[in-house]
Structures are given as C-alpha cells and as structure tokens.
Chains A and B, each alone.
Chain A
Amino acid sequence: MNRSSPEVTTLDLQDYLDGRLSASRRVEVEAFLARNPQSAAEVEALRSQAMVLRRLGSDILDEPIPDQLLDLVRQLP
C-alpha cells in the first residue's frame, strides 16, 4: 500500500511540491501538513533539495561551447 496516512501519501507530497495538485486537493494537503509537522518537515527537506538541484551544474551552463560542437550546428548542408 502506498498510504502513509488515511489521507496523504508521499506521492501527494511530491505532487504538492511540484505544483501538480488540483486547488481542492492542495487545500487538503495543506491542512494535513498543518496537522503533521513531521510531514511538513519532509516537504521542506524536499523543497530545499529541489532548490539545490536547480543550481546543479550551472557552472557547466556558463562554459563556452566547445568549437567542435558549435561548428557542427553552424555548418549548413
């Protein structure tokens, strides 16, 4: 069973975090989190992980593109 409590599962919490819940379900999950500080802490931990992941490899994005890759897409047939 994928149920942690009668009402909210881990996947629900992820959907909440990722903004994939309907408005009515979001209200239910928020009410659940208000009653369950432990789950609220889980959500916060996931949220902070998500923020770190967003920045992962940003230094690679800033690197100049190697010439051999640029040449590939810049030459037209």
Chain B
Amino acid sequence: MNDQRNLHLLIEQEIPRLRRYARLFARDRDTADDLVQESLLRALSGLHTFVPGTNMRAWLFTILHNVFRNDYRRAKRNPVQPNSDLIADHAATAVRGNQESHMELTRVQAALSTLSEDFREVILLCGVEGLLYEEAAEVLGIPVGTVRSRLSRARSALREAVTTRSCLDRRLPAPPAALKRVAGQKMLSKGSPRVPAVSGLATSLRTTQ
C-alpha cells in the first residue's frame, strides 16, 4: 500500500512537466489537459507494469506520447496551422513581457509550433524537458541514433523558423538564405552561407533598411 502511495506521489510530481509537454505539443489548453488526464488514467491502470527503480518520467512520457499518437492525431482536424489559442497565448505573453528575452521565448515557441511533429517531439523531450537521447529513444520507440540525427535537423529547422519569424515580427523581409535553405539538410562547411545569430541578423537587417 505504501509502495502504491509512493508511486502515486512520483506520478503527481511529474504532472507539471506532462502538462507543459502537452501544452506545447497540442497547442491548446483544453486538449492538452484532456490528453494529460487520459495519460494519467492509463498510467494508473497500468501501474503494475511500471518497474520500480526505473525512470518514472520516461515511463509517463512514453504513455503521453502514445496517447498523442492514438488520440490526438486522429482527432485533430488541422494538422498544419498553428492553433488560435496559441496565438492568443503569445499575444498575452508579448504584452506582459517587454524584455527582449521574453520576446525571444515567445518567438521560439511560435516557431516551434510550425515544425513537424517529429521535430517538435525531439525538441520538446531533449531540448525542453532535458531527457537524455536514450530516454527520448525509449519514449519515442526509435533508435538512439535516430534521436541524435533528428534532433540535429530539428534544431536547424527551429533556427530557420525563428529567423524567419523574427523578420516577420519586425516586418522585414526574411533573408533569402533562410527561405531557400532546406532546413536541417545543410551541413556546416566553410563555404556554406552562414546564418548569424537571430538577434544579430535582425539588427543588421534593420540598420540596412
């Protein structure tokens, strides 16, 4: 009984992270909490399959991921367009925070929402939740090497998306390089066009306008 209680406590501690992942992934609040609720129900009913001493966080994220796969993807109607809740969230956040760092956070979140699900998954698990590649591989049911290469491409794609978005925000034309480049496929090389850090790029564009 005490074991059971401890496991429930372990689960409870992870709820904020599950909610964050769900919110950033599902893009609207109600859907996100519904999916977390469904995941918790499955976790509790399948608690006997949890091996004590193993990683509760990874176990719960695996369940959440499966719920997304099975329920959310089937249910959602509009797989590509960012949800209006997200945009409203961003507007509210943007009004609240006038600091550049807050703006950047908002920009990155908005840019993230434009990426494919595969990319968002690895960014959220490894980049936001800080899971190891091995843990993310377990959650997603893919090899560690796939996590590694997908994460690399996702990070490039996110940088491209942030660059494009920051130009949109400032009503500046996106640099042709950001539009033309196929995100994630370009390897670093001495000869390849450099994409400068986002803030630096925006500044340099502004001064040339």
Chain A residues with CB under 8 Å of chain B are 2-5, 9-11, 13-15, 18, 20, 36, 38-39, 41-42, 44-46, 48-50, 52-57, 59-63, 65-66, 68-70, 72-74, 76-77
**Chain B, residue nearest A12 (CB):** B188
Closest A residue to B17 by beta carbon equals A61
Do A36 and B190 have beta carbons less than 8 Å apart?
yes
Residue B67 interfacial (CB < 8 Å): no
Q: How many interface residues does B have (CB within 8 Å)?
A: 49
B176 close to A (CB within 8 Å): no
Given contacts A38-B190, A68-B37, contact A63 B155 (CB under 8 A): no
- Beyond A49-B158, A72-B44, whether A11 also contacts B149 by CB under 8 A is yes
Interface centre among B8, B17, B151, B195 (most CB of A within 10 A): B8
Give residues of chain B (155-206) contacting chain A, Cβ–Cβ below 8 Å.
155-156, 158-159, 162, 187-190, 192, 194-198
Kindly list chain A residues whose C-beta atoms are within 8 Å of the C-beta of B87.
none
**Docked pose: A44 CA to B156 CA in angstroms:** 13
Hey, which bits of chain B sit against chain A, CB under 8 A? 1, 4-5, 8, 11-12, 15-17, 19-20, 23-24, 33, 36-37, 40-41, 44, 93, 104-105, 108-109, 112, 123, 127-128, 130, 133, 148-149, 151-152, 155-156, 158-159, 162, 187-190, 192, 194-198
Cα separation A48 to B122 with both chains bound (whole Å):
17
With A5-B190, A14-B152, A60-B19 as contacts: A54 and B128 at CB distance below 8 Å: yes
Q: B189, A53: Cβ atoms under 8 Å? A: no
Contact of B20 among A18, A41, A57 (CB under 8 A): A57
A69 with B104: CB separation less than 8 A: no
Supply 13 further A-B pairs (C-beta < 8 A) apart from A61-B20, A73-B11.
A4-B192, A5-B188, A9-B188, A11-B152, A14-B151, A14-B155, A38-B188, A48-B197, A52-B104, A53-B123, A53-B128, A59-B93, A70-B12
| Bound-state Cα–Cα, A21 to B24, Å | 30
B162 proximity list for chain A (CB < 8 A): 49
Distance in angstroms from B115 CB to nearest chain A CB is 12
Chain A residues within 8 Å of B41, by CB: 72
Residues of A within 8 A of B4 (CB): 76-77
Q: A55-B105, A57-B128, A61-B16 are in contact. Are A69 and B152 (CB under 8 A)?
A: no
